[in-house]
Amino acid sequence: MYIKNTLKNRKDIQRRLEESEVRYRRLFESAHDGILILDSKTGQITDVNPFLEKLLGYSKAEFLDKKLWELGAFKNMKAARDAFKLLQKDGYVRYEDLPLETKDGHFIDVEFVSNSYLAGGTLVIQCNIRDITERKKVEAIKDAKKLLEEERQRIESIANTAHELRTPLAIIKGTVDLSLREIREGGFDESKDVLRSINHEVVRLSEILSDIGLITSKAWNAERGIYYEEIRLRALVKTVTRRCKVIAYKKNIHISTKSMPDIVVWGDRRYLEKMFLNILENSIIYGVKNGHIEISATQSKVFVKIDVADDGIGISKDDLPHIFERFYRADKSHNGSGVFSH
């Protein structure tokens, strides 16, 4: 009875081993990754699956009994030998991106993972080879798109910064023209104020040119930071208004402030000043001669609302959806740039 049970157990074990072998062979043959089985002592290839045969273009006979570094796909023989030695020592090797050459001479990129294990009492090495060529192409396209977007942002930033040059130059020219006119009329006695105004705009031009230099340098970053500080809104608006009065003088446009509380806001001074300059400059460009621009502010618990009202033609309903598009041209019939900037 004991012998009978022992024989039965052996048959069950044998059957399970055979079933396991069949399952393994099915997985081995149908795998969508390349698989190589190596002798752990010699590095000779003892088995290869159909996927790798098709991937590299070699027949099974061309794989078998060759050492890993003797296979034409692995051009760097020394690196292959070193990898095998490391595998013998540590039992595991992984390469995230390994170039292999196919039989017909073109290169593919693969992920190469090897580990050793016991199979039937014998130590073997299994190499899993995954084709990542398409993934690399997708990554390359993604990287190219990222570079193109960075370049687009760089060009856009250069255009924005170049656009800013117009305002200081217009203020300098307006100040000089006004001074020359007063000199001709014999009533010029504000040389200090004129020089102070010109100096302020020259400093601003220098800052803009520095921005252009930064944008065109390799260290430029589209996601550059914003410097936050406490800003007195009334003083900021007063500075911008004073700068724009020179431009407004040519069209005899009067700029005034109304209901401007002396409140402190948290923001980047240069960007806020730039924003107000753009708004006021557009109001002057599109405003009527002998017109009026009024600036006012109202404060709530969480924000400050600033209104800039002029007596120009306004913005049409068709153009309103586009006012935050950079350099959108609203109406070509106007003089000046006829663009919105922000």
Cβ distance 204 to 175 under 8 Å?
no
Q: Rounded to whole angstroms, what are the CA distances from 210 to 18, 215, 275?
A: 76, 9, 19
Phi, psi of 87 (to 5 degrees): -65, -40
Q: Rounded to whole angstroms, what are the CA distances from 61 to 35, 58, 107?
A: 15, 8, 22
pTM value?
Answer: 0.42
Report the pLDDT averaged over residues 249-273: 85
Res. 209: pLDDT tops 80: no
Distance separating the N- and C-terminal Cα atoms of the chain? 95
Cβ distance 45 to 66 under 8 Å?
yes
Q: What pLDDT is recorded for position 3?
A: 57
Cβ distance 292 to 253 under 8 Å?
yes
Report the pLDDT averaged over residues 233-262: 85
Res. 59: pLDDT tops 80: yes
Q: What pLDDT is recorded for position 332?
A: 45
Share of the chain above pLDDT 70, in %: 71
Closest CA to 276 of 290, 252, 257: 257
Q: What pLDDT is recorded for position 293?
A: 92
Report the pLDDT averaged over residues 209-214: 64
As a whole number, the mean pLDDT across the chain is: 76
Complete domains list, the chain, with CATH: 31-131 (3.30.450.20), 149-220 (1.10.287), 225-342 (3.30.565.10)
Res. 324: pLDDT tops 60: yes
Report the residue count for the chain. 342
Q: How confident is the model at residue 18 (pLDDT cuts 50, 70, 90)?
A: low
DSSP state of 32: S
Which residue type is seen at 87? L
Q: What pLDDT is recorded for position 338?
A: 38
Which of 178-182, 268-272, 332-336 is modeled with the greatest confidence? 268-272
Q: What pLDDT is recorded for position 337?
A: 37
Res. 213: pLDDT tops 70: no
